[in-house]
C-alpha cells in the first residue's frame, strides 16, 4: 500500500528499505511504513519530477 501511495513499485520500496532511504517498523512479521515516511518520500518524489524539462 505504501508503494502505491508514493507512486513506486513494490520492489523499489523494499530496495529503498535495504538502502536505508526509509525506516520501516516491523511488527509480528509485517513491515509497516510510518505515514511520516510516506509523506516525506511523496514530497521528495514530487520535487524531483517538478524539476524536469519544460513542455515544448
Question: What is the pLDDT at residue 45?
Answer: 82
Distance of CA 24 to the CA centre of its chain: 11
pLDDT in tens, the chain (56 residues): 889 998 889 999 999 999 998 889 999 999 899 999 999 988 988 887 766 665 55
- The grid coordinates listed for 52 are 524536469
Whether the CB-CB separation of 26 and 33 falls below 8 Å is answered with no
Question: What is the pLDDT at residue 17?
Answer: 92
Residue 47 CA to residue 50 CA, distance in Å, equals 5
Model confidence pTM above 0.85: no
Residue 23 CA to residue 32 CA, distance in Å, equals 9
Q: Is 26 helix (H, G, I), strand (E, B) or coil?
A: strand
15 pairs with which residues across the strands? none
Domain ranges across the chain: 2-36
Amino acid at each position: 500500500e505504501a508503494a502505491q501511495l508514493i507512486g513506486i513499485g513494490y520492489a523499489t520500496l523494499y530496495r529503498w528499505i535495504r538502502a536505508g532511504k526509509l525506516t520501516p517498523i516491523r511488527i509480528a512479521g509485517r513491515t509497516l511504513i510510518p505515514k511520516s515516511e510516506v509523506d516525506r518520500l511523496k514530497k521528495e518524489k514530487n520535487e524531483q519530477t517538478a524539476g524536469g524539462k519544460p513542455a515544448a
